[in-house]
Structure 1
Amino acid sequence: MKKYKSVAEVDLSEIRQSGYFPSPLAWEDQVLYFLLLDRFSDNRENAFLDNQGNKVSSGTTKPFQPEDAGNAVLTPEDTAAWREAGTRFTGGNLKGLASKIGYLARLGITAIWISPVFKQVVSQETYHGYGIQDFLEIEPRFGSKEDLIEVVKIAHQHGIYIILDIILNHSGDVYAYENGQPVYQNGQTYPVRGYRTADGSPFLPFDTLTGNADPDAGIWPAELQKAESFTQKGKITHWDDYPEFLEGDFESLKDIHHGTGGLEDFVVSDALHGLAEAYKYWIALTDIDGFRIDTVKHMELGATRFFSSCIKEFAVAIGKENFYLIGEITGGRRRAFETLELTGLDAALGIDDIPDKMEYLVKGYRNPSDYFSLFRNSELVQKDSHVWFRNKVVTLFDDHDQVRKGGNKARFCAGESGRDFLIAIVGLNLTSLGIPCLYYGTEQAFDGAGDSDRYIRETMFGGKFGAFRSKDVHFFKEDNPYFPEIARIIAVRKACIPLRRGRQYLRQISGDGETFGYPSLGGERMHSVVAWSRILNDTEILCAFNTDPQNTITAWVTVDYTLHRSGGVFRRLYASGESAEILPVEPRNGCAVLLTVPPGGFVIYG
């Protein structure tokens, strides 16, 4: 497929297809799955089910068995090799992902969020994809443009949308400063030694490269090569200080200059124009359905608005009426939703420490109101109803960097009783407000933990850095204790529109049927039923989990008295363990049902 050195060479009219896969009517109906491409599949697995559900016997990597746990860390030398492997490209690729679309479809996933696939700086091990050197090419270790097109095609055949993770804020480490890596200081610029050659040496002029320049050197497309494409102000050390957080580098990743001015009079730089055209190209070429935009907090509002407008208009023009733009906007709700409304982004990711509140609520260390009030307090964002949050927030409890945990990274299942509560937290994520997103490996109960990001980025396909401190075994098992249960919950979510679009209410509970109140943390840890309702029109769906991993808990739970009368019933739609099939409605605290939830379990009634 043709390679381009400049966006000026790209003729979108020649690339555009006759018909594109239509956008979903409502993104809140979707269940997202976020994967790091390098860590997902290398297309060499054996004894898994292919996209049609047939068993594959041609691969070389066998499925994981319990006795394989720890097989990569038997000696100090093995352990060191396993840890080192986690810092490098491990071999996951687009062909591997294409072969596992059926696996994700059977889980119930309807949208795959893929880490950046674009060409990385050759001399560096940015396996995560966030160190881009060429915005118009695919990273060769991941595959080709044709491979990405095939992934999208197969996904669409299975009713799954594809969201690409993209970067506007910065490039890879494509140039070096004169005197090492400086830090941001009072907005001063620092002298640059030059663009890096393919081997990483900073010997190229810091200016537009010649037409026959090495495509592995400097940065591409050519529109980004002028010195003024970069702010050149050193790395950020104070992440919330203005204007440092807008102008500084992300460690060695180089900050791109987007333009100047305020929201209404922003003057767009050539670099940002070039990036917008590059990302239009990927939409036209591959038929993708949305972007997750990295580090939006660190971009000017005017730059984000310009990009959103360009992409939305182009997508509408080719028939994608609801092309989705998810912005990583760290911070509080007010900042996040002001950013959404001022820039045209559709949803926010990373606000108000949702993963922390979700994880420790389910484990009994947070008040339920800490989580549920995120969605109830809509007056903070000048909205009349908290239902507005249903398609404006992407919710997840595990991710690839866990900034919130500092130097002590750990997946949910690495902690105390993590596996005991896995179905409960997945249930909370899938049935409370927001667009739910599962991090790859959750359905296999991955338990990575350590002092750096690598430990929460285990491979699904084995290789030298497999999950559970293993190597050479894969984790695409659909008969483990968790995969089928997650699939069942997603199926209930799909069948019940209130779980996707309804209002949400944390419910009062009672042990004696007389005194009701909201569950709360009274000591170090709460052992309680936590219940909430999703209501749409005249239909109420009741969900609950148990924060006690060892004991069944029975409690009276309030339901909506305007929708129910004494003698009515709720019927069981899902339960992770023993629970009643029918719950009679009784006249307590308005109306209530007597609900039993198994240890660490999750239930749905409707």
Structure 2
Amino acid sequence: MSFRHASDIDFDQLTGGRVFHPSPVAWEDEVLYFLMLDRFADGDDTTPMLTAEDHGNAWRTEESRQRWQQAGTEWAGGTLAGLRGKLGYLSRLGITVVWISPILKQVPGVDSYHGYATQNFLEVDPHFGDAAELRRLVSSAHEMGIRVILDVVLNHAGDVFAYENPDVRWDGQTYPVAGFRDADGMPTLPFGPVAGGAGTDVAVWPAELQEPGTFTAEGPIRDWDRYPEYLRGDFEGLKDISLGSGPTDGYRASAALQALVRVYQYWIAFADLDGFRVDTVKHMDPGAARYFTSAIHEFAESLGKENFYLIAEITGSREFAFRTLGEVGMNAALGLAEVQDQMEWLVKGYRDPREYFGLFRDSLQVGKDSHTWFRNRVVTAFDDHDQVRKGSHKARFAADRLGRKLGVAAVALNALTLGIPCLYYGSEQGFDGSGPDDRYLREAMFGGSFGAFGSRGRHCFDESNPLYAQVAGILALRRRVPGLRRGRQYLRQISGNGVDFGYPSLVGGEMRSVVAWSRLFAGTEVLVAINTDPDNARTAWVTVDSSLHAAGSKLSCLFSSSGDGSGVTVEARNGRAVLVTVPAGGVVVFI
């Protein structure tokens, strides 16, 4: 990109004569895969594949273990070109949308490999490649039937300036600023427009963000739930941008917000992107988020992208998330702690299934007169990159014995229930990262100095892994059967004796049981059952829709994680029911 001001972007030249990739008809048909770009693929095809013997090869001594842990805080080496080389791996898994962590230029000299500390919104970070490589990646993905969503940040920039007092904390006042940071990270530059000859490694870009009033300059947040602190404070060193003022209706967008909108419109057109995951929506004025939403949707529609998707990261309760989502107009919510928590602990046998299934059709909580099915309003996942809900200790689903044995059941619950499913990179390989901070959730898939399972120098793109094969089978089934993507959803009652029916529940604080649900679509019922017992197959009578099935009729098996394709017979029990056996930690699907 050859310009420094957002106002210099020539959209007529950029878009003229081009045909852009269309949006999907329905995003609930898609399967997302979220990856930390720095940790996914480095393009080195000579790295050996990880074997069981390689687990812990970076932990042979205490010194080597410490080096491995330190490497987790540093740039690992993943690139856009590396990701492009692994699109076949993702396609064969059944992924239809790649969601990439932020790729724009980070503050120089800082190990912000995660991408959330932007210094220059006009350039791709050189650690990842360049703008041309982004365009090649998206083009290749589209050729393979994979769409691309980019993680974007507009609430804040990186640590681009320093306060005069380094110990400030938010208390509602504006603090004096020492200056913008120079190329060495020192605050030697005036806190205002940078001289024309300065390089783009200094201060912040586009140049509109250098104008007075761009930053709130009120210091780091202490109370993450106190208004207006959570809207105006810094994320530690990440500097909060003043996006405007006023009520949601009639919001007055700042020059900074207008410039950022223009920059992100540029990236849509330049790279032919299909959607954004918008970071930290909770920490933005609702009016600012609505302004961004409207401007992005309208621009995308002008390119023929009629359903450009905006996924809002909104931490907090479901009620807060859906209220915010409705107010700002974004398409779907991500970061619903209740969804992630209920999903993980239901599969592990420590949550009542009615709580998880109730998340998707509670009309009163979202102000609707009748039940609303959130099939395209929630992005669901059981693993992610920061796990805010878990506090100070972070752990992937497979970090404990239950998680290692129940991975297939977790993917089935994620992919075959309501919502837009999202798989976090490495979950299909059973990554087991666990530790006191986020780095342990961000293992390098390609190996390097911070590989998965305490390893180094070994890649994990193992398509012969039984878990990878099971995930691919489940996602292929979802793609083939419309009811598993779009159908209404009902948790089903079960029975051990065929007489006494009830919903699965905890006994003595845990639940080792069949959990079954139906997806109803266009007069067809698809029955899914998972088993929360990691060690033993479980058999139960499961209720089905009596209006759709006559006693004596048959349900065919579409999928079984054990490979058993036996069908079941409908009997007149609790209306109508079938006797199903579910493999240990597995899943069966009938139609």
For normalisation by structure 2, the TM-score amounts to: 0.98
| Equivalent residue letter for 1:567 | G
Correspondence list, 1:185-334, <5 A: 185=171, 187-334=172-319
Query: CA contact under 8 A between 2:318 and 2:338: conserved in structure 1?
Result: no
Query: CA contact under 8 A between 1:420 and 1:549: conserved in structure 2?
Result: yes
- Determine the structure 1 residue equivalent to 2:444: 459
Partner Cα distance (2:273, 2:224) in 1: 32
Correspondence list, 1:442-591, <5 A: 442-577=427-562, 579=564, 581-591=566-576
| Equivalent residue letter for 1:6 | H
Secondary structure of 2:535's match? Answer: coil
- Determine the structure 2 residue equivalent to 1:150: 136
| Equivalent residue letter for 1:204 | L
Query: CA contact under 8 A between 1:181 and 1:252: conserved in structure 2?
Result: no
Secondary structure of 1:331's match? Answer: coil
Q: Deviations over 1:343-385 (max 9, x none)?
A: 2200000124211111111010111112111013122113355
* 1:159 is the counterpart of 2:158: no
Cα gap change, 1:386 to 1:580, in 2 (>3 Å): farther
Partner Cα distance (1:235, 1:280) in 2: 29
Partner Cα distance (1:450, 1:116) in 2: 23
Partner Cα distance (1:95, 1:287) in 2: 17
Gap runs ≥5 in structure 2? none
Correspondence list, 1:96-111, <5 A: 96-111=82-97
- Determine the structure 2 residue equivalent to 1:7: 6
Query: CA contact under 8 A between 1:387 and 1:501: conserved in structure 2?
Result: no
* 1:184 is the counterpart of 2:183: no
Q: Which moved more, 1:409-418 or 1:243-252?
A: 409-418
Secondary structure of 2:150's match? Answer: strand
- Determine the structure 2 residue equivalent to 1:114: 100
Cα gap change, 1:331 to 1:550, in 2 (>3 Å): same
| Equivalent residue letter for 2:99 | W
- Determine the structure 2 residue equivalent to 1:53: none
| Equivalent residue letter for 2:147 | Y
The alpha carbon displacement at 1:181 in A equals 4.0
Q: Deviations over 1:164-205 (max 9, x none)?
A: 0000110001001011041111x1111110111111101110
Partner Cα distance (2:35, 2:60) in 1: 28
| Equivalent residue letter for 1:440 | Y
Secondary structure of 2:373's match? Answer: helix
Partner Cα distance (1:382, 1:102) in 2: 43
Q: How many residues align?
A: 590
The alpha carbon displacement at 1:334 in A equals 2.2
Partner Cα distance (1:176, 1:386) in 2: 50
| Equivalent residue letter for 1:219 | V
Partner Cα distance (1:64, 1:425) in 2: 24
Secondary structure of 1:155's match? Answer: helix
The alpha carbon displacement at 1:507 in A equals 0.4
Secondary structure of 1:370's match? Answer: helix
Q: Deviations over 1:193-250 (max 9, x none)?
A: 0111111101110001122112100000001112300000111111110000100001
Partner Cα distance (1:241, 1:589) in 2: 50
Query: CA contact under 8 A between 2:337 and 2:389: conserved in structure 1?
Result: no
Partner Cα distance (2:168, 2:338) in 1: 30
Q: Which moved more, 1:594-603 or 1:274-283?
A: 594-603
Q: Deviations over 1:132-154 (max 9, x none)?
A: 00001000010000100011001
Query: CA contact under 8 A between 2:451 and 2:457: conserved in structure 1?
Result: yes
Partner Cα distance (1:473, 1:419) in 2: 20
Cα gap change, 1:284 to 1:585, in 2 (>3 Å): same
Cα gap change, 1:82 to 1:352, in 2 (>3 Å): closer
Query: CA contact under 8 A between 1:580 and 1:596: conserved in structure 2?
Result: no
Secondary structure of 2:519's match? Answer: strand
- Determine the structure 1 residue equivalent to 2:384: 399
Correspondence list, 1:420-431, <5 A: 420-431=405-416
- Determine the structure 1 residue equivalent to 2:18: 18
For normalisation by structure 1, the TM-score amounts to: 0.96
* 1:32 is the counterpart of 2:18: no
| Equivalent residue letter for 2:10 | D
Correspondence list, 1:377-392, <5 A: 377-383=362-368, 386=371, 388-392=373-377
The alpha carbon displacement at 1:3 in A equals 2.2
| Equivalent residue letter for 1:5 | R
- Determine the structure 1 residue equivalent to 2:59: 73
- Determine the structure 2 residue equivalent to 1:49: none
The alpha carbon displacement at 1:386 in A equals 4.6
* 1:85 is the counterpart of 2:71: yes
Partner Cα distance (1:236, 1:440) in 2: 30
- Determine the structure 2 residue equivalent to 1:139: 125
Partner Cα distance (1:220, 1:314) in 2: 22
| Equivalent residue letter for 1:349 | L
The alpha carbon displacement at 1:12 in A equals 1.1
Q: Deviations over 1:252-289 (max 9, x none)?
A: 10000000101112111000000000000001100000
| Equivalent residue letter for 1:182 | V
Cα gap change, 1:580 to 1:494, in 2 (>3 Å): closer
